[in-house]
Structure formats: C-alpha cells, structure tokens
Chains A and B, each alone.
Chain A
C-alpha cells in the first residue's frame, strides 16, 4: 500500500490543473444573480444621468456593484468627486480581506500575475474561489482568469442592458428599482454577519454604525457619516473583541 501511495504521489498531475474553461463553467451559478443586480445598476445609473457609454465604462473599469449604485446615487444629487471617491474607498475596503484571504493560494505566482488576478476580484468570484480552495491546496491561474473574465463580461452586459432599458422607463421608482440598492446592502449585511459567527459582537458594531451614520448625516453629510461609522464602529469591534 505504502508503495502504491508513494508511486501515486510522484506522478506529475497536470490533469488536476483546472482549465480556463472550467473556471468559466464554475462561474455560471453566480451569473443569474449578478445579471439581475447589474441590470438594476444599469437602470439606476442611466436614470442618475449617465450616458450608455459612461455606464459601460463604469461597469468595466470600476466593476463593483455596491460602489456603482452609490456613485450613481451621489452623482444624481451632484456630490463632489472627492466625496464620491472617499465613500467608494471605504465601501470597497473590504476587498483587502478577500484579497488577503486568497493570497496563500497564489504564492506560486509573480506579483504582476497576482495583480492581474486581483484586479477583477469581487464578493462573488471570491466566494467561488475560496470554495475551490477548500477542495485543493492551490488555485490554478487559468481557472481564476476564466472565472474572473466570465463574471466581468456578464456584469458589463447586464449594466448595458439595464442602461438601454432605463431609456424606456422614466421613473424606476414605480417598479421598485430604487430599492435594489438598499435591498443589496441588507443582503450583504445579513450574509456577512451569518458567515462570521460572531453575531452578538457584529450586532453591537452594526447598531453603533447605524447610529453614527444617521447622526453624522443629519448634522454634516451622508458620506462623512459612512466614513466615521466605518472607522469608529470597526475600532469599537476590534477593541471589544481584544478585551474579552
């Protein structure tokens, strides 16, 4: 038996290396979800005053669901570019965690190749990739590119379709489309809290964040509210967790 095992281990296993096409296939279960959110994002961006070309650019270059909704909402009320960029920075800071969590599986690649893989990282592709990592010790670069590019193109197509559709509906509110953004935030909040299994601490942090965000928004601005809530409530969570 030992001999057989030893022999099996020495056999090079290129067939275990997942292909680009396998990455495309593994992306498929997430496509419908992002198609609908991307569609809603496209409608909201269009009705916020963006042209179809601008919708295509924002979905390809920024490529981040919640950030695009927020940018659209802030553009619609004429927020400054600085306020929009700072708010998006905080909203997307969570990618540090996703990127850090994936880093052990791509240690065999150069920094430049890691940069290419990371540039298209999203919550959904991270979810698929980290499940793949649970099965295998390393993630294939080609597989990750297949996953990333499929999700990216799907997102751009969905945004574009939403933007075209946005031409025909003058008030997205009638169809409840303006609630796509709060609903997505509620979904992301609930999902991130369920997955962490630190419910009590997370609820404390969330309640504090809401109070700070609402309080600061009433006195100053809503983007400052998000920034202060993120910094203060996260620090509070860190301190309480350390204290226990």
Chain B
C-alpha cells in the first residue's frame, strides 16, 4: 500500500484548489450576489478551458504542432465530435472515442 509523499502532495493540493470553488459560492452566496461581470467571465471558463485542452490533445504531439493524417488523435476526434453533437451523451462520446481509436490503431 505504497503512497509516495510527492503524489500525496499533488493529491492534497489539487483537492484543495478543487474544494474551494465547489464550496465557497454555496457558503457565501446566500448572503452576497456575484457581481455581474464576474458571473459573465466565469460563464466562459468551461468553454475556454475545454477548448484549450482539446486543442492541445488533438493538434499537438510531444509539444509540436501536428496536423496530418498521421495524427490519429486528430482523426479520431472528428467522429467523436459528431457523436457528441448527435447523442449529447458523455458516455456515448467517450465510448465511441475509445472504440474509434482502437480501430484506428488496428489499421494504422
């Protein structure tokens, strides 16, 4: 049952920065309203963070820009994207992404 100090530090640190945004609004917003600009700014954070992560995952390989048919991540992203649009289900999206990638690796 080995737990290294380095990993424990990462777990506790990431948990703390996740815990605070989870609980602070519930604890204080019964008393205060979030200013309008802040709510507006926050409303774009999920889209921009997820887009940034998708971009890094599918357009890059080992820190290099890679847009070609040898980039399997990019190819697998295309059907995955349409399945997400069509089904609106996270489960269907993840499963179809995994299966697409598995098939691509069989053929390429």
User: Which positions in A face B, CB cutoff 8 Å?
Assistant: 32-33, 36-37, 40, 50-54, 57-58, 61-64, 66-67, 70-71, 75, 81, 84-86, 88-100, 102-104, 106-107, 111, 114-115, 117-121, 173-194, 196, 202, 205-214, 217-218, 222, 225-226, 229-230, 233-235, 237-238, 241-242
Q: Which residue of B lies closest to A190 (CB)?
A: B84
A81 to B56, Cβ gap below 8 A? no
B47 to A176, Cβ gap below 8 A? no
B19 to A183, Cβ gap below 8 A? no
- Summed over the interface, the residue pairs from A and B with CB atoms below 8 Å come to a total of 314
Bound form: Cα–Cα A108–B101 in Å? 48
- Interface residue from A54, A85, A179, A237 paired with B73 (Cβ < 8 Å): A179
Number of B interface residues, CB 8 Å?
A: 78
- Interface residue from A182, A217, A242 paired with B97 (Cβ < 8 Å): A182
Q: Which residue of B lies closest to A114 (CB)?
A: B26
Bound form: Cα–Cα A206–B46 in Å? 10
- Interface residue from A33, A71, A75, A96 paired with B91 (Cβ < 8 Å): A33
A218 to B22, Cβ gap below 8 A? no
- Interface residue from A54, A174, A237 paired with B44 (Cβ < 8 Å): A237
User: Which positions in B face A, CB cutoff 8 Å?
Assistant: 1-4, 6-15, 17-19, 21-30, 34, 37, 39-60, 63-65, 73, 76-77, 80-81, 84-85, 88-91, 93-105
- Interface residue from A40, A67, A93, A104 paired with B98 (Cβ < 8 Å): A40
Q: B44 contacts which chain A residues (CB < 8 A)?
A: 202, 205, 233-234, 237-238
